[in-house]
Structure 1
Amino acid sequence: MNSLSISEARKLVLLSQGLPAKPQKGSAYDKSLLAFKRLGYLQIDTISVVQRAHHHTLWSRNPDYQPQHLDQLVKDKLAFEYWSHAASYLPMDDYRFSLPRKLAIRSGAQNHWFKKDPKLMDSVLKRIASGGPLMAKDFESKLAKRTGWESKPTKQALEMLYMQGDLMIAERRNFHKVYDLTERVIPSHIDTSVPTEQEYARFLVLSFLKAHAIGTLNEITYLLKGVKAQVANALSELLESGEVEKIRVTNGEYYVRPESLALLNQRLSRKTANILSPFDNLLIQRSRANSIFNFDYQLECYVPAAKRKFGYFCLPILWDGRLVARADCKVNRKASKLEVLHLFLEHSLKAKDAFLAALEQELQAFATFNQCGGYTIEKTSTTPY
């Protein structure tokens, strides 16, 4: 079994993720498409303290990214919305691999958080079939009781039809979903055959390792229900065929595609700082980020204010091949300023002056991306551990 140092493992992971971004030829839109395909999914998030996560993640890999690119990818039928480990944009070429979950929800083998109302679902579906794409607000539906968390029955019907595959998201208008019949959204050339269990498991393994370089069984099956045994079998078969091999890293054993090891011969930019989204593909699995990058991270917007260590929306910062800082950020739209409420430097950070010079450039670029004229840093500290 081959071995990698933790530094080599980090290099493989970062290069596979397209971080830091390298200069590329082509239009800004083409570069966004390439980054999207490299990642394999983009997690959608509604929090807008700074630019939303699905835009932020692509911008981190393509400095020329514009928020309208994602809408254009959907319009061009190169991307679609569905569930990965969470609500995501997925490559349209991978559409068939969304079918196992859809069919499981349709059959009742996998539960969804809304209960099915077949009569209402049929009525909603017929209205869209005859009248064209609609949003939830286009349906009148009253709640029997309002507590602040529930959604109206027609919204639940739309979501169930979407989750089981009858409807897709044709577009978003002011971030509101527009639902349409699947057959009117999906391109005619896309493979819609249901993958076998073996095909689906192979896809999960190979797509994860392509995007992340190295991975464990638990990481490959992160938040996916009922697939661990299938993926374990697929890994055994892929090991036997030589399409995957095991690699030992300082912190444990991982699976890797042999072709990914060639990335060790490429150069990793260590002078550029990258401000990352909390939902970035690189670190959405917090235990993996801790294991590989020794970066203990929690998004604290869901933590009571009195218990927060780093702030409401603290963004991890990549530099020199490591995660070396975090910044609690907020866009002040009225003042057109990106406010760094608190910058926390990791205790292990060396060459602080070089890092801060790189961060200055990144903060200005991030401010511009957030349609701000500039930025301020209100406080800087070093983490106590």
Structure 2
Amino acid sequence: MAGPVELTREQARRIAVRAQLLDGTSSDPAEHGVIDVVRHLGFVQLDPTAAVAPSADLVLWGRLGAGYDPSELVDLIDRQELVVHHMLARPAEDLTLFRAEMARWPGPEPWKPWQERLYGWVEANDACRREILEALRGDGPLPASAFLDSCEVPWPSSGWNDQRNVRMLLTQMVDRGEIARAGGSGRDTLWDLAERIYPDDPVPEADQAKRIRDERRLTALGIARARAAQAPVEPIHVGEAGVEAVVDGVKGTWRVDPRSLEDADFAPRSVLLSPLDRLVADRKRLTELFEYDYILEMYKPAAKRRWGYWAMPVLHGDRLVGKVDATADRDAGVLRVAAVHEDEPLDAAVRAAVDAELEALAAWLGLGLSRGDGAL
């Protein structure tokens, strides 16, 4: 039996970058549309933070360039070609891969204590759940504010979710596959019966669906661990998908997409990434393969930030070489670049490439470019 595929760190990084459509060979805007990119990536995360631009738009701009129009993403969601599930815009056809799991909410037995408590809370408020379903059946789509809080048992909260019984119940109803987001945003999110939103496609068995999700996740990541710590939005592990690999200088084994081993072409380019980009989402992989130190500092007090509120990682070729601290000041009509933090001193060619990306980002945003003392 053949042993694991042996990779250098550089090879592993290039597999990861190529899989995320961030090298020059895989990122030709003429060959990809928004729906194609999202299908390949698996999803784009809809986060309301817009210090520079919404994360989903930065992700798509990084793959499609100046030709990307954010209204295309909105239109795809409005037409339900992309379906929003827990703030991730996924191709509608992929929702079948989650519905078997929804059907056995809150998870396969035996349940853990937290699952038993969750099940008990929803059961105790079954009358309110049924009222929501009846309202949607007759008048949906509707916002959360249209539903009366008739919960008999309040959501157990330490304070953060006080007086949010309906919203917490809606979340569980999404997980149960009963309702789905039908449009709107933030407090104005609209909800409807899931049967009106999700395609009526055959639902695979739960184990088969998980294998397919693992395989698609590996396609998007290129290289990942078989098992990893629980991630808050989307898993970062891929189970037994792909083939086993070892990376020189890195402990443990990996799983790699075998198709990525067939394509050795790599065209380096520079890209400014969203802090929520999937290339940097797995912080442990980021350290092990890219030897890159990064944390999103928006939740830190300003005085304790090293790189900035929404510091964008800077990709150059297969290396992450710095962070850009920038803010879109729309009132003043400029993209303010407070600093470009260099992980290592950048040579003239890399500086010029990063500067060109800043110019391109400002132009795409329709803003001028204002550089602070710490900028290039």
2:217 is the alignment partner of 1:205 = no
2:294 is the alignment partner of 1:297 = yes
2:131 is matched with 123
Moved more, 331-340 or 212-221: 212-221
2:364 is matched with 369
1:14 is matched with 17
Letter in 2 for 1:377: R
Distance of 1:130 and 1:201 partners within structure 2 = 34
> Would the alpha carbon gap of residues 151 and 106 (structure 1) be closer, same or farther in structure 2, given more than 3 Å must change?
same
Letter in 1 for 2:281: I
1:258 is matched with 258
Moved more, 329-338 or 166-175: 166-175
2:28 is matched with 23
Residue 105 of structure 2: SS of its match in structure 1? helix
Residue 327 of structure 2: SS of its match in structure 1? strand
Distance of 1:339 and 1:113 partners within structure 2 = 49
Distance of 2:166 and 2:173 partners within structure 1 = 10
1:52 is matched with 54
Distance of 2:150 and 2:323 partners within structure 1 = 44
2:270 is the alignment partner of 1:276 = no
Matched positions, count: 357
> Would the alpha carbon gap of residues 142 and 332 (structure 1) be closer, same or farther in structure 2, given more than 3 Å must change?
farther
- TM-score by length of structure 2 reads 0.84
Shift of 1:101: 4.1
Shift of 1:65: 1.8
1:356 is matched with 351
Distance of 1:77 and 1:303 partners within structure 2 = 36
Distance of 1:107 and 1:267 partners within structure 2 = 42
Aligned partner of 2:206 among 191, 196, 200 = 196
Moved more, 337-346 or 246-255: 246-255
> Would the alpha carbon gap of residues 115 and 298 (structure 1) be closer, same or farther in structure 2, given more than 3 Å must change?
farther
Would you say the 8 A contact 2:9–2:247 is kept in 1?
Answer: no
> Would the alpha carbon gap of residues 284 and 355 (structure 1) be closer, same or farther in structure 2, given more than 3 Å must change?
same
1:81 is matched with 84
Would you say the 8 A contact 2:12–2:247 is kept in 1?
Answer: no
Distance of 1:287 and 1:146 partners within structure 2 = 31
Aligned partner of 2:193 among 181, 194, 199 = 181
Would you say the 8 A contact 1:326–1:344 is kept in 2?
Answer: yes
Structure 1: unaligned runs, 5 residues or longer? none
2:372 is the alignment partner of 1:378 = yes
Aligned partner of 1:331 among 328, 337, 340 = 328
Distance of 2:148 and 2:137 partners within structure 1 = 17
> Would the alpha carbon gap of residues 227 and 2 (structure 1) be closer, same or farther in structure 2, given more than 3 Å must change?
closer
> Would the alpha carbon gap of residues 150 and 114 (structure 1) be closer, same or farther in structure 2, given more than 3 Å must change?
farther
1:288 is matched with 285
**CA RMSD between the two structures:** 3.2
Distance of 1:295 and 1:146 partners within structure 2 = 36
1:61 is matched with 63
2:198 is the alignment partner of 1:169 = no
1:5 is matched with 8
Letter in 1 for 2:47: D
Shift of 1:185: 1.1
1:314 is matched with 311
Residue 292 of structure 2: SS of its match in structure 1? coil
Shift of 1:92: 1.8
Distance of 1:354 and 1:183 partners within structure 2 = 54
Shift of 1:40: 0.9
> Would the alpha carbon gap of residues 134 and 292 (structure 1) be closer, same or farther in structure 2, given more than 3 Å must change?
same
Q: Deviations over 1:320-355 (max 9, x none)?
A: 3211110112111210111112220112x442x212
1:267 is matched with 266
Shift of 1:292: 1.1
Shift of 1:45: 1.3
Shift of 1:156: 2.7
Q: Deviations over 1:17-55 (max 9, x none)?
A: 1003532436xxx61111111111222212121211122
> Would the alpha carbon gap of residues 366 and 175 (structure 1) be closer, same or farther in structure 2, given more than 3 Å must change?
farther
> Would the alpha carbon gap of residues 169 and 279 (structure 1) be closer, same or farther in structure 2, given more than 3 Å must change?
same
Distance of 2:95 and 2:80 partners within structure 1 = 11
Distance of 2:272 and 2:306 partners within structure 1 = 19
Shift of 1:99: 2.3
Q: % of aligned pairs identical?
A: 23
Distance of 2:352 and 2:308 partners within structure 1 = 23
Distance of 2:235 and 2:77 partners within structure 1 = 29
Shift of 1:317: 0.8
Distance of 1:319 and 1:125 partners within structure 2 = 50
> Would the alpha carbon gap of residues 248 and 147 (structure 1) be closer, same or farther in structure 2, given more than 3 Å must change?
closer
Would you say the 8 A contact 1:16–1:211 is kept in 2?
Answer: yes
Distance of 2:228 and 2:59 partners within structure 1 = 20
